Structure 1
């Protein structure tokens, strides 16, 4: 029973490119044409870079050509500020490699999501912590902006709160401010509970806001905004159907010493499994999303890591040992 087929039947799209790559590569048993993966290991993190090189790779992976960097670390969930700073430095170095920046570039940081829903509040919390400096380049003496880059921040809310499509608000701001780059931060949906608040993805292809809570909205990318868009996403929820499927898999794997049960498992068609899971989730329209009870603290920790990394990556004169003092 192939996961990719079951997820397609359930209408689940994996937000993390590294998860999609692991599943597809495992099913075909070889490298995916048009896709390259590199891996780097650090003391408290593993960084995996998925590069979709051409349209063939894009079609197989189900996402646009570009670079998808995933930083994996279970220590993100722990309340360890020293380790969080190390993770922030790793993320900052990766951002420096990816972001198309000049010394005089203006950057717009956009915190996507609903600040009233904790699993979806990552973007607004990052914006709340981030340091806005664009006004200094208009109204402050030159000595006050030494080592800084022009940065402005925006938390546009969600359609249900504002009545305006998020992409429309951002496009209006882009047209007025004319930044050289947009960085979007959003909550994502994970393909397994292990990845919730333990992975950060940086994508050069933009983002579709609302994916972390099962919504579909207008894409925010270079095509729609007119400037490069880099997305930073963190899985904060997982579809309940995925948890149900993983539980069934573990049950059958545990009982695989009984040949009859093995035959039953392999005889199950993805359609049948999907129908059983949908029956359980029917009261929620098949769209039940699950998040940990410690989500408040985990979102705060993750937002601080991302805000630190952005400060170090965007401001060339920012002392790494003092970066925390510049967070709001």
Structure 2
């Protein structure tokens, strides 16, 4: 069976609609479009929607901003505020909330380093609350953070590390940040997904580990993800579709050949492309050449969004004081 790799709920919904030409029962969708960004809120309401989308019941909020690939400071500030607003709506924290921020991923591999980079920019405060024996503050809340690395570095399941920290520090919520995979190159590094259903570390590159969710950790787990890679076979498949569409419009010769390609099922095309690529590349994930800069920029956007949403006395004019 064709398995197009994506971690985005918006894309699984799109693929279902393309295949079945109907909206999914048990799924509620709301779209908000502004000049610089678009927000799509997908809410899976029941088991039927969960089964058809292959995603757990809950809310999936997608912020798309094409300019994030080459963002100026104004756009980064704007998306940080948009992210903070959506996080506040989803998480509903108060001045007593204790949060644990988890930066998933491998800091030695740039496309997978989003989580650790965010952790380096988050304003952590738990040590202040401990030092002064406080349970609340007029400007900040109790926030701790950890970048646990990956099992290849630590030899320990990431879920086991986080579970141990949660049992010891007893946060009210966990927010996990991770790199994801998209099925469209245009969404790589331009899209932020927020969900309240937890996360599977390593899912973006097909290396699923133990799930981080409320059932396992005992506290609500919110996830923030950004697609930084796309499967090579999927990208080639989409490229062929675009070429066929363009060539059928501009050429008279070879029309039968382009019609044949256009009529091939997605499964057949994907299988053909995978077989052609296998001797040369195997199972390859592709990332943009400017990924270093993109990860730096988008990690700042996410960290600022978290700082604004979790600390009730901090706003946009303050956030850049707390990051490198």
State TM-score, norm by structure 2: 0.93
For 1:36 and 1:194, locate their aligned partners in 2 and report how far apart those are by CA, in whole Å.
24
CA 1:281–1:95 in structure 2 vs 1: closer, same or farther (change >3 Å)? same
Identify which of 57, 68, 77 aligns with 2:60.
Answer: 68
Match of 2:8 among 16, 20, 25: 16
Q: 1:266 to 1:12 in 2, by over 3 A?
A: closer
The equivalent position to 2:290 in structure 1, one of 294, 310, 313, is 294
CA drift at 1:40: 1.2
> Structure 1 residue 57 and structure 2 residue 53: aligned?
no
Deviation at 1:15, TM superposition (A): 0.4
- 1:272 to 1:38, Cα distance in 2 relative to 1, 3 A: closer
- 1:307 corresponding residue in structure 2: 303
* Whole-Å separation in 1 of the counterparts to 2:269 and 2:316: 51
Change in 2 beyond 3 A, CA 1:284/1:91: farther
Q: How far did residue 286 of structure 1 move?
A: 3.9
Structure 1 vs Structure 2 CA RMSD: 1.9
* Deviation string, structure 1 residues 54-88 (Cα, Å, up to 9, x no partner): 00001110110100000000111114011100110
Gaps of at least 5 residues in structure 2 are none
Residue in structure 2 matched with residue 322 of structure 1 by the alignment: 318
1:84 aligned onto 2:80: no
C-alpha contact 1:207 1:219 (8 A) present in aligned 2: yes
Indicate yes or no: 2:108 matched with 1:116: yes
User: Does the CA contact (< 8 Å) of 2:150 and 2:157 recur in 1?
Assistant: yes
Unpaired runs of 5+ residues, structure 1, are 1-7
Question: Which of 185, 193, 209 is the matching residue for 1:193?
Answer: 185
CA spacing shift, 1:298–1:54, aligned 2, 3 Å: same
Q: Is the 8 A contact 2:96 2:135 kept in 1?
A: no
Query: Does the C-alpha gap of structure 1 residues 115 and 316 become closer, same or farther in structure 2, counting only changes over 3 Å?
Result: same
- Equivalent pairs, count: 320
8 Å contact 1:149–1:316 — kept in the other structure? Answer: yes
Distance 1:144 1:35 in 2: 38
